[in-house]
Each structure stands twice: as structure tokens, then as C-alpha cells.
Amino acid sequence: MVSTKSRFWILIGLVTISGFSQGMLLPLIAVILEQNGISSSINGLHATGLYIGILLSSPFMEKPLQKIGYKPVIMIGGALVIVSLALFPFWQALWFWFILRITIGIGDQILHFGTQTWITATAEKHNRGRSIAYYGLFFSVGFTLGPLMTNLLPFGVYVPFLISAFLSMFVWLFMIWVRNEIPEKEHTTAYGTSSIKRFVKAIRLAWVAFLPPLAYGFLEATLHGIFPVYGMRIGHDVNLISLIIPSFAAASLFSQIPLGALSDKVGRKKVILTVVLGGIVAFISAALFENSVIALFTTFALGGLFVGSLFSLGISFMTDLLPQELLPAGNILCGMAFSIGSILGPFLSGFFLDLWPNLSFFYVIVTLLIVVFAATAYKKDPEIVSSQVS
């Protein structure tokens, strides 16, 4: 059996390959459906399958974790992703691919829930932010590299899917050498058997920590799904747009670890307030200078440096605010918040463009970030919350 340190890096490897498959599916299937003459509205609706799967599975994962432990949960989630990826090339029916997308969403959420909860439950308090920052960093690495698989389409529709399935299986097999652990009994029964009560209690104690993952999901889906449409409307070349968008995720790779480590030293709330404020400045600048490609590239990168770490910072903040027995519920809610943001982002941004075509699309993002900033500033510090609970 592997050491605790090796287990951590195997979990990080699974997160990376999960980000890779998610980052691949969105543009790859969009291109394939576009080439097959599917309308853009159906194409966009089809893309929600992944997030529907995440939301459908989220409320039902806590009890299996309590009964069978981390390892089986993670392996079941990984197996669902691998099998679904491998099935894509065999039948190119729209409804069948939608079901596979939902299944991958379910598998990814199970995988993330298991790895995320295991990491948050075993991370030391003094370096918790840094450990979870690695989680966010390597997911972003995978998500950034995934779209490159679209370049393999000339070799056949099946090639990107099968390569992704093979890579996923290769990393997944390392879990065989990981020793299973089950959450301590008192951590799973402290608030009774009702999952609803546990979710309500987690929301009451840590509602503010779920806003950063929601905002990150909103940003990621909006920048990938709506900005290309808006960018072309204001006269930018589609090839240049395809270079601007990855600058957000790429820049976030450089700030994830430093921001996570900084949040361990000065506190999660201060860092979240700082990065959200930086994101507000970045996207207001994007709105003011949106006609310049260089300005957009710069502001997207600046936005990535700041708010590209919101997901991992939100998980760390949630871990600070909740007692350990509520961490599984908290991790589920973080995933659900991300999915809700991912679904709301393209819908609200598209609605905004229809209602106010002469206003900059970036003001939608700025408005959301202002709400997150105000809510975080309003929330009392974790130490004060803990003393009140006890």
C-alpha cells in the first residue's frame, strides 16, 4: 500500500484527468455537433448534460461514502467516466451522447466528492489552503489541456474520446494500491441520519463559502460559452478569441498555490475579498477596453490571476467554517454551487445580451463579483462563528 503522501498525489492525478476530460468535452462535442449541422441553441442545451448529472447525483453520495469508504466511491466514479468516454465513438446519436454527458457528470461528481472530501478531511490546518490549492491547480491544468484534443478530430471522431478514456484508466488504476479509509463514525452520525438536516446546517454555517465556487462556475461557463458570441458581435476574429479565452485559466495556474498558502497565513476571508476586488477591477477594465485584443488578453489573464482560484479558496473557506462531521455535506454543496453557477452563467449572460445589446457583456460578471464581495465582507470570521456554535 502507498504512503499518505503518495495517496495525495494519486488523488491529485485523478483530479487532473477529470479536468482534462471535462475541458475536452465542451469544445470537442460543440465542434462535432456544429459540423453535423446541429443548431447553436441545441448545441448549448446539450452542453448542460454534464452539469445536470452533477446536480442529480450530488444529494445521494454522502451515505455511500459513510458505508463503503473513500476508495470504492472514487473508483466507482472513475469507472463511470472511463466507460462513458469509451462509448462516445460507437453511436453518434444526439440523445445517446446527452445521456453519456449526464453519466460523465455523475461520475465526475462522485470522483470529485471522494477526492475532495478525503483531502479536506486529512489536510493539516496550517497548510490546508495550500493542499486544496494543489487540487484546484491540477484540475485547471487538465481543463486547460483538454481542448487541445479537438486538434485530433482529423484523425477520426473516435480518437480524442479513446485517448481520454485510456489516460483516465491509466491514472485510475493507481487507486488499486491505495488503502481504503472510512470517515470516523462520529463524523457521520453527529447530526442524525437525515441528509436534509445536515445540508441545511452546512448551508446555515457556511453559506458564504459556497459563493466562490458558484462564481467560478459562472465565470468558466460564461467565458467559454457566451464570450465567443459576444466577441464576434463586437468585431473580433474567432481565431483571436480562441487565444484570449485560455489566458484566464492559464494565468490561474500561477496564482493557485501562492494564494492558497497566503490564505493559510492571513485568513481565507481576507484573501477572497482581495481576489474578488481584483477580479472586479479586471473585468471593468475588460468592459472599458473590449475593442482591443491586447487589452482583452491582458484583462482575462489578470482576471485569471485573481478569481481563477475562487473554487479552491471556497473549498478551504468551507472547511474552516464547518465542523469535520459536516465536511462531506459541505463538499457536496460546493460541487452543487459550481454546477448551478455553470448553468446560470450562459443563461443569464445570453439573456443580458438580448435585453441590453449595447451594454458590455462583462458587466454581468462584475455584478456577480460585487455580490460575492459584499456577502463575504458581511460574513463574520470563522473563529467568531466557531465560538458561537460551541
Gyration radius of the chain over CA positions: 20
Chain center to CA of 359: 28
| pLDDT value at residue 56 | 84
Which tens digit of pLDDT belongs to each residue from 11-52? 999 999 888 888 788 778 877 776 777 765 676 677 778 888
DSSP state of 88: G
pLDDT for 123 beyond 90: no
What cell does 307 get? Answer: 478569481
Question: What mean pLDDT, rounded, does the chain reach?
Answer: 84
pLDDT for 187 beyond 60: no
pLDDT for 333 beyond 50: yes
> Cβ atoms within 10 A of the Cβ of 84, count?
26
Homologous superfamily (CATH) of 1-182 is MFS general substrate transporter like domains (1.20.1250.20)
CATH 1.20.1250.20 positions along the chain are 1-182, 194-390
> Cβ atoms within 10 A of the Cβ of 375, count?
14
Using N-to-C axis directions, what is the helix angle for 327-355 and 49-57, rounded to 10°?
Answer: 150
DSSP state of 339: H
Q: What is the pTM of this model?
A: 0.76
| pLDDT value at residue 14 | 92
**Residue 181 pLDDT class (50, 70, 90 cuts):** confident
Distance, CA of 188 to CA of 182 (rounded, Å) = 10
Q: What is the mean pLDDT of residues 166-190?
A: 78
**Residue 63 pLDDT class (50, 70, 90 cuts):** confident
Q: What is the mean pLDDT of residues 322-333?
A: 85
What cell does 376 get? Answer: 463575504
**What 3 state SS string does 17-31 have?**
HHHHHHHHHHHHHHH
Using N-to-C axis directions, what is the helix angle for 40-47 and 4-35, rounded to 10°?
Answer: 160
Q: What is the mean pLDDT of residues 254-263?
A: 90
- DSSP string over 156-186: -THHHHHHHHHHHHHHHGGGGGSPP----HH
Which of 11, 252, 12, 278 has its CA nearest to residue 140?
Answer: 252
Residue with cell string 466562490: 212
The CATH classification of domain 194-390, taken from the options 3.30.70.2520, 1.20.1250.20, 3.30.70.270, 1.10.1660.10: 1.20.1250.20
| pLDDT value at residue 41 | 62
Q: What is the mean pLDDT of residues 338-367?
A: 84
Distance, CA of 293 to CA of 302 (rounded, Å) = 14
Distance, CA of 378 to CA of 31 (rounded, Å) = 43
Distance, CA of 180 to CA of 202 (rounded, Å) = 26
**359: phi then psi, degrees, rounded to nearest 5:** -95, 150
Q: Which distant-in-sequence residues (6+ apart) come within 8 Å of 377 by Cβ?
A: 273
Q: What is the mean pLDDT of residues 63-73?
A: 88
